Structure 1
Amino acid sequence: MAAVHVVRRLREAGDWQREMDSILETLCGAMDCQRGILFRLRELPGQGFAQSVAAYWINPRFGGELASPTVIMQSVVNSDPLLERLAEDERQGKIFAGHTRDLEGFLRTDFEKQHIKSFLSVSVFAHGHLWGTLAVNDCVNEREWTDEEEATLHIVALAIGDAIERSLSDAHASEVIRRTMLQASLDAIIV
């Protein structure tokens, strides 16, 4: 039911980004997770891509214990075989799920620092391109993610992608209207 609630909120939101903290809280509450993150991929001139944090929520009971999500630069990805494979898997829309104890390299060190026991991450696409990823973390218990939990995260990621596309379309339409009104008003100015 959480997915339905989240999708409805994203569809009705005037600004989806303002809704993300409470959406992540709703999602994590329904999935019994302590942390939810929406990562965004951004191209940095001369440096490749960086994974930045678009939004995140940490259960207040763990706020002082859990570190903030890490920004990962392309140079780190290029130096870590797991991150290189993961970057390709994300572009293909594959799920990334498991336990921190089974990881190696940068992610294991980073996830241990953040007290992540189990993780689930899916790709967010907008306009046919990888925009980022949506992730939830269990920082209390190792767990096997259910098909229902994976489906819920996929549904929410699709809804976020739709909201991104709508906001870009709305912004474009607003700019066209603004320019048209400005042009019309300039035509009516008498000096």
Structure 2
Amino acid sequence: MAINTGDLNKCIAKDETSLGNDVLTAILQSAEDLVTGEGWLDGINTLLAELGMSTGVSRVWIFQTLDIQTDFIIQDYAFEWFSHKKYKQIGLPHFNHFTSQLVEPEYIDLMESRKRGEYQSLITAHLPDAWLKSHLEEQGIKSMLTIPIIIDNQWWGTLGLDDCERECTWSANEIIMLRTASYFISSAIVRDDYRAKQNQLEILKENIACSSWELDSRRGYLWCTSEVLNPDDNVVSRKLFNFKQWLERIHPDHRRPFLEMAKGFLTSSDETTFHYDLKIRRSTGQYCWIEISCNSIKTEPEETTRFQVFSGI
């Protein structure tokens, strides 16, 4: 298959100018919104527009991978910039949460390459007379470059550049610059996901008295937010305790049984959740009942170094 596919980590930049610098400038002009997280959706749209105008392609797009199985893949056409409305594809019914069967060998090879984090560069006319060539010709694509978007070592989606007018070849510099753009996109996606989870937690906290805790059992440190310990505070703060200070907060009658239960949870290879009711001393000196609910976080197989605690009155 006449597709130039390669490991992005092995791309070697050369002393080139012009388009490579234009792409870098385009990325930097859009980077602030994506890095700060303010208006990240607009930031991605702006980035795609800058990339499109700097490279002169017909269309810049992002597909999100929603689900992938052995025989099919579900994707969504999430973002697009187009140089002319005749090149617009976003919003078309067949690109909205669309399912593609993994039956064509060319397509399977393409998906596997993207899962490995590899780029693909091709000129449609140079492809063999098979499924992929026909598929691209139907869309009027003369050349294409795709860069996978990787989040947490998983293929989240694809950044693509289509040219419907020219047979483009891409230099190592340009590919490296576009990979940098995919990093900014990944960062924006992760930040937005984190913000959404924080908003969910804040909504939950508005309905019940709760705080979030994190224990590093290897080093013996506990971090927690202040809602339960200091319920009268108007501003939520983050507090740090060493292991002894933390134990002193637990009612004497509950320390040993709680520690035994917690130790069993931390050393277990099977248990992933932990629930326990105990009394804890607030900063006012008064004890209150709390329910602790934990999810373990393992950094290495069979080794739990810390757990996150969600506690509420």
- TM class by smaller structure: 0.7 to 0.9
Aligned to 2:54: 30
Letter in 2 for 1:181: E
Gaps of 5+ in 1: 185-191
**Structure with bigger RCO (C-alpha 8 Å, 6+ apart):** 1
SS at match of 1:150: helix
Structure 2 residue 201 is matched with structure 1 residue 180? no
Contact 2:82 2:88 in 1 (8 A): no
Letter in 2 for 1:134: L
In the alignment, the residues of structure 2 paired with residue 183 and residue 37 of structure 1 have an alpha-carbon distance, to the nearest angstrom, of 42
Identical positions, percent:
22
Q: CA deviation at 1:14?
A: 2.8
Contact 2:148 2:157 in 1 (8 A): yes
Gaps of 5+ in 2: 1-24, 210-313
2:75 to 51, 63, 68: 51
Q: Deviations over 1:67-117 (max 9, x none)?
A: 626646341xx2211110011100111111010112343332221122211
Aligned to 2:125: 101
Contact 2:33 2:39 in 1 (8 A): no
In the alignment, the residues of structure 2 paired with residue 152 and residue 10 of structure 1 have an alpha-carbon distance, to the nearest angstrom, of 16
Q: 1:55 to 1:158 in 2, by over 3 A?
A: same
In the alignment, the residues of structure 2 paired with residue 90 and residue 176 of structure 1 have an alpha-carbon distance, to the nearest angstrom, of 34
Specify the structure having the higher radius of gyration (Cα): 2
Q: CA deviation at 1:51?
A: 2.3
Aligned to 1:68: 89
SS at match of 1:163: helix
SS at match of 2:208: helix
Aligned to 1:142: 167
Aligned to 1:8: 32
Letter in 1 for 2:133: R
Normalized per residue, the structure richer in strand is: 2
Letter in 2 for 1:12: T
Q: 1:121 to 1:49 in 2, by over 3 A?
A: same
Q: 1:3 to 1:80 in 2, by over 3 A?
A: same
In the alignment, the residues of structure 1 paired with residue 173 and residue 53 of structure 2 have an alpha-carbon distance, to the nearest angstrom, of 15
Q: CA RMSD in A?
A: 2.4
Letter in 2 for 1:34: S
Contact 2:61 2:77 in 1 (8 A): yes
In the alignment, the residues of structure 2 paired with residue 128 and residue 51 of structure 1 have an alpha-carbon distance, to the nearest angstrom, of 18
Number of aligned residue pairs: 180
In the alignment, the residues of structure 1 paired with residue 177 and residue 104 of structure 2 have an alpha-carbon distance, to the nearest angstrom, of 30
Q: 1:44 to 1:94 in 2, by over 3 A?
A: closer
Task: Using structure 2 for the length normalisation, give the TM-score.
Answer: 0.53
Matches within 5 A, 1:105-184: 105-184=130-209
Q: CA deviation at 1:139?
A: 1.5
In the alignment, the residues of structure 2 paired with residue 44 and residue 91 of structure 1 have an alpha-carbon distance, to the nearest angstrom, of 10
